[in-house]
Structure 1
Amino acid sequence: MEELVTSLEEVVKNVIQFNEDLENHTDIVTQLSMFIHWYYIPTINAFGPSKYIGYKNMNTEKYDRGKRKTGVDTEKELKEWFVKLSVESEKAQELMEELYKLLEKHDKKVRSNANIHILKKGIKHSF
């Protein structure tokens, strides 16, 4: 089993890597519609799915289509820094629209049961 992240800085690094992997059209693009829990980092204006960003030093190759990884473990770890938005909230709807646009660039759709998580302390974190 892969090692879980232990700091918010590791999470941010993974979100950046996830978005680079998308831009480079790696295999992760084919899996975009599978992710349910999406995490948003306002300081870099980027999203990442829990099952990818919750493990140390992640990249598409290491992700290996999610083999031997579980979102249950990553969700527990990421709760330390993030809170899930209510689907009805204005902020969740605004961010969901941004997530739809991101996935549309890759001809993918957001799952109907997807959730958005944001930093508990808002945008005050700096890296």
Structure 2
Amino acid sequence: MASIFTKIIEGEIPSYKVAEDDRHFAFLDINPAAKGHTLCIPKKEIDYIFDLEPNELSALTKFSQNVADGIDKALKPIRTGIIVEGMEVPHAHIHLIPIYKETQAFSLGKKVDVSEDGMIKLAEQIRQNICL
């Protein structure tokens, strides 16, 4: 059975898409730890990120770097942090979380509220600042 992320890639489940290329997809997390919290995933469904072939892991990392650059340009955080935890969905993924202040809680368990209009605006702002 396809993972929820594969269903998002295939358009079966709506998402706030930020970026896409032939091998990767990036979209806003619907339970964001910060405004602009983005997930970067390979289109190839692999459960554990370290089961990706070295060239695939490298490509996902480079894709994530480009998305993080777009987040930095669009949202102006101090920096964009990264979490690779991988337990909640059996599909390799990288969390990119903007850090807006040095004392900001940095945890997947802490959710900030962002309205639907806010999510649409954030996705558009980030998308406009990504160079793939």
TM-score, scaled to structure 2: 0.29
Higher strand share goes to which structure?
2
Higher helix share goes to which structure?
1
